[in-house]
Amino acid sequence: MDFSLSEEHLMIRDAARDFARTELLPGVIERDNLQKFPTEQVKKMGELGFLGMMVDPKYGGGGMDTVSYVLVMEELSKIDASCSVIVSVNNSLVCYGLQAYGTEAQKEKYLTKLATGESIGAFCLSEPEAGSDATSQRTTAIDKGDHYVLNGTKNWITNGGSADYYLVIAQTDRDKKHKGINAFIVEKGWDGFEIGPKEDKLGIRGSDTHSLIFNDVKVPKENRIGEDGFGFTFAMKTLSGGRIGIAAQALGIASGAYELARDYSKVRKAFDTEICNHQAIAFKLADMHTSITAARHMVMKAAWDKDQGHNYDMSGAMAKLYASKTAMDVTVEAVQVHGGNGYVKEYHVERLMRDAKITQIYEGTSEIQKIVISRGLLKD
Ligand code: CAA
């Protein structure tokens, strides 16, 4: 068994690390304060190939593996989780979904732009009454022959205001339950498609989260993804990979907070010595580093499973469950190590603590991950 990263992986990780320090760190506090979408930073991430990392180069992507992707996600998330969620949704949910299940025409028209960052995508599953209970879709897509008519509301949609293309999940035939659900590509600006107000969030405040309203939106039939009734399976399969990206985001938030706490503890003095010399602090660092290392192994294992063509439903859910708990625990401790300074924005750890919480909620709450894991364990 070889735990070392290849030269190529190290190069990609270092490129992401440099980018995060030079391009994401300046202004991260201001973007968080003002809930300012990182337009310039997203443009640069597109130029660097971070927005379509695993897409086939023939559609403009980087043709990289999932291990490379999680390395980049961790590095970006150490500094700015608002930027990394944009990367995660575009790569794992939108680009992956289209590459794996889209038609050639859909790939030509949409994936080529999404993979290069010329356009941004959003994934629209959650509804006021269908977040965890994803089969209970209320948004309808009525089949009218050569097109569908979409009606309903989606909630908490990442990239909701900034996206150009939206993958929308909707119910076509309620009697068929999850087998009557479809997924569609919807373009911003289509008649009847309205973007609701921006949510005022606890964390990842630089990313834009909106509700979306569909009022008799006509969607051409060629914009349905997969066969009739494939929408729920599409969402589940896509989210399984998405969870690996969010697990890597949680890992990055945790490791970013840990590094800040470690460095601070080496310079801050109390009782005549640097605080890292007190066991009260040193033991905290030991605990933080231990759980981060365990989380990293789990994230890497899930990414490796995906790259090997193994099933990754369980390993992705376990990685997300554990890494997101680690992100919460470690960021709280990082604030504690910083004492009063930890409560002040300029030291970054309070933002990381606020950002950590969403990793236990989106792309399936921690409770949903336990459903996925326990069903996987008990299915045979
Ligand atoms: N792959 C393929 N098929 C799957 C699957 C998977 N991973 N998971 C379930 N299915 C299939 C099942 O096999 C079943 O099909 P059959 O009846 O043909 O056998 C069907 O889907 C229904 O499955 P269940 O009976 O298990 O469905 P359920 O209603 O009990 O719930 C669930 C399953 C796992 C809880 C699911 O509803 C779920 O994942 N919920 C959470 C949704 C979620 O993650 N939301 C986040 C929104 S997106 C987001 O946050 C993005 C963002 O902005 C950052």
Model confidence pLDDT, tens digit, residues 321-336: 999 999 999 999 999 9
Relative orientation angle of helices 231-267 and 349-358, to the nearest 10 degrees = 160
Tell me how far the alpha carbon of residue 232 lies from the centroid of ligand 1, in angstroms. Answer: 7
pLDDT in tens, 278-325: 999 999 999 999 999 999 999 999 999 999 999 999 999 999 999 999
Q: Does the beta carbon of 178 sit less than 6 angstroms from any atom of ligand 1?
A: yes
pLDDT in tens, 158-167: 999 999 999 9
pTM exceeds cut of 0.85: yes
Tell me how far the alpha carbon of residue 201 lies from the centroid of ligand 1, in angstroms. Answer: 26
Residue position matching structure tokens 């964390």? 203
Would residue 108 show up in a list of annotated catalytic residues for this protein? no
pLDDT of the residue at 344 = 97
Calculated CA dihedral for residues 320, 126, 87, 66, nearest 10 degrees: 50
Instruction: Using a pLDDT cut of 70, give the percent of the chain over it.
Output: 100
pLDDT of the residue at 134 = 85
Q: Is 166 left (phi over 0), alpha (psi -120 to 50) or beta?
A: beta
